[in-house]
Amino acid sequence: MHYDFANIFYLYDVKDVYFLKEVIMDALYLIKNRKSVTTFNNKDIPSDIIAEILNCARVTPTRNYAQDWKFVVIKNKPLKKNISELCNIDCISDANILIAFFSKDNKFKIEYTSAAIEAMLIAANYYNVGVCWQATYGEPYSKEISALLKAPNDLYLMGLVALGYYDFTAPSFHKIPSLSEMVIAEKFK
Question: Between the CA of residue 124 and those of 110, 132, 147, what are the distances in Å?
Answer: 21, 10, 28
- Other CB atoms closer than 10 Å to residue 183's CB: what's the count? 7
Please say whether the structural domain 36-164 has been given the CATH code 3.40.109.10: yes
Determine the distance from the C-alpha atom of residue 157 to the mean position of all C-alpha atoms in its chain, rounded to a whole number.
14
pLDDT at 128: 87
What integer pLDDT is reported at residue 5 of this predicted model?
45
**Is residue 64 over pLDDT 90?**
no
- Work out the number of other CB atoms within 10 angstroms of the CB of residue 185: 6
Sequence-ordered list of residues with C-beta below 8 angstroms from that of 39, at least 6 positions apart, any chain: 91, 94, 130, 166, 167, 170, 171
pLDDT recorded at residue 172 = 57
Query: Is the pLDDT at 12 greater than 90, yes or no?
Result: no
Spans of all domains in the chain: 1-33, 36-164
Average pLDDT, stretch 48-65?
88
117 within 8 A of 161, measured Cβ to Cβ: yes
* Distance from C-alpha of 130 to C-alpha of 68, rounded to nearest angstrom: 26
